[in-house]
């Protein structure tokens, strides 16, 4: 068996073991650990979007929290209305003197509408932002600054809209979703927790498969080419801006879906959860795992978030400094993340095997004839 085939076999076996362990997690993890893992898997969907936008297209967005928040708030609005008696207003609106339900809240009473908006709103917002940037050929650090400013503006608006979005407190107190009681306890509550976890895992698996397929198409090849040399792609007759807009919108869609699932797992959403720090944190974990690799991006997000839960509890004041230092370290030492390092080592191993074969002496004709 060749070194390349052996590595592929080992990787496949390892992925199957990890998949089996994740599927069986509800049977060996406690309630807290399972809920934490469910939230981490939800965030991993956003990591896939960053893999497409940054890892394959070369667009470093520091504002994915904006699209994450749009998806989360879209579902939270429906869940809040579902927990409010018909004809009444959500409690935070009553406290702030709002007399009538705002017009943009009303359609979210419908579950199908809310679920559609979880995907449509972030995708449209991301597409619009991308169109405004890329049609003017804005690139590089300017994209990072603009996206960071947009998420900051969104968070500022949420904080100042106490009567419309519950401001800094966020939207909470969810009770039911599609007829399922989210407040159940005992065996029923355990069933809800397990079901929500498995649904999240299934959606993540579908998103990983879909993203992998997309990146293997001609569209995905063009994204890689745009990252390598955008002018050459333009010279070949393609419109790089259109492909970058599509990639950015796809990343926004995945971030919105991630935000909705995360909101259900956590039971709340607030401006503090989706700000600039959160957006940078997503990028750090994807960079750690490997921004150009689907498995690397997801693995980095899972490992980073689980580490954050432990380290931030032990040294909460130093956590942000640790994360910043880690990002600098990854950029300087592992620019392609852990996945990139493993790929280089695998390629080096295959090269050694091939070199070793080339050095083997060929059998002489006389010996070959004697053996025959």
Is pTM, for the whole model, over 0.85?
yes
Q: How confident is the model at residue 297 (pLDDT cuts 50, 70, 90)?
A: very high
What is the pLDDT at residue 362?
47
Q: How confident is the model at residue 179 (pLDDT cuts 50, 70, 90)?
A: confident
Nearest CA to 148 among 277, 334, 234? Answer: 277
Q: Kindly tell me if the per-residue pLDDT of 349 is higher than 70.
A: no
Q: Residue ranges per domain, the chain?
A: 37-274
DSSP assignment of 14-65 = HHHHHHHHHHTGGGTS-HHHHHHHHHHHHHHHHHHHHIIIIIIT----S-HH
What is the pLDDT at residue 6?
47
Q: Kindly tell me if the per-residue pLDDT of 243 is higher than 50.
A: yes
What is the pLDDT at residue 348?
61
User: What is the residue-averaged pLDDT of the chain?
Assistant: 88
Q: Kindly tell me if the per-residue pLDDT of 119 is higher than 90.
A: yes
Q: How confident is the model at residue 259 (pLDDT cuts 50, 70, 90)?
A: very high
Q: Kindly tell me if the per-residue pLDDT of 78 is higher than 90.
A: yes
Higher pLDDT, 329 or 27: 27
What is the pLDDT at residue 189?
84
Higher pLDDT, 83 or 338: 83
What is the pLDDT at residue 215?
96
DSSP three-state, residue 87 = coil
What is the pLDDT at residue 7?
66
> Burial code of 280-311, b = ≥16 C-beta within 10 A, e = fewer?
bbbbbbbbbbbbbbbbbbbbbbbebbeebeee
What is the pLDDT at residue 197?
96
What is the pLDDT at residue 223?
96
């Amino acid at each position: 068996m060749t070194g390349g085939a052996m590595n592929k076999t080992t990787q496949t076996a390892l992925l199957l073991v990890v998949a089996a362990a994740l599927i069986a997690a509800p049977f060996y993890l406690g309630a807290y650990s399972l809920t934490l893992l469910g939230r981490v898997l939800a965030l991993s969907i956003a990591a896939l979007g960053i893999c497409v936008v940054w890892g394959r297209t070369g667009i470093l967005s520091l504002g994915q929290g904006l699209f994450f928040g749009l998806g989360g708030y879209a579902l939270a609005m429906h869940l809040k209305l579902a927990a409010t008696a018909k004809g009444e207003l959500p409690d935070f609106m009553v406290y702030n003197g709002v007399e009538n339900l705002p017009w943009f809240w009303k359609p979210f009473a419908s579950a199908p509408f809310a679920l559609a908006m979880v995907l449509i709103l972030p995708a449209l917002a991301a597409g619009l932002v991308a169109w405004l940037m890329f049609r003017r050929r804005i690139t590089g650090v300017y994209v990072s600054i603009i996206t960071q400013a947009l998420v900051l503006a969104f968070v500022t608006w949420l904080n100042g809209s106490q009567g419309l979005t519950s401001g800094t407190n966020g939207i909470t107190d969810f009770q039911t979703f599609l007829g399922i009681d989210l407040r159940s306890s005992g065996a029923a509550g355990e069933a809800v927790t397990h079901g929500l976890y498995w649904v999240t895992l299934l959606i993540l698996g579908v998103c990983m498969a879909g993203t992998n397929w997309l990146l293997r198409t001609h569209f995905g090849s063009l994204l890689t080419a745009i990252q390598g040399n955008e002018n050459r792609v333009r010279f070949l007759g393609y419109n790089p801006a259109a492909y970058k807009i599509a990639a950015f919108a796809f990343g926004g869609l995945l971030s919105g879906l991630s935000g909705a699932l995360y909101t259900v797992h956590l039971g709340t959403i607030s401006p503090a959860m989706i700000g600039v720090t959160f957006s940078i944190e997503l990028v750090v974990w994807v960079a750690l795992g490997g921004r150009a690799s689907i498995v690397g991006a997801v693995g980095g997000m899972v490992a980073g978030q689980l580490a954050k839960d432990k380290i931030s509890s032990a040294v909460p004041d130093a956590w942000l400094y640790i994360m910043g230092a880690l990002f600098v370290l990854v950029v300087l030492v592992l620019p392609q993340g852990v996945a990139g390092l493993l790929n280089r080592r695998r390629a080096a191993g295959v090269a050694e095997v091939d070199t070793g074969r080339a050095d083997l002496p060929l059998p002489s004709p006389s010996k070959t004839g004697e053996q025959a």
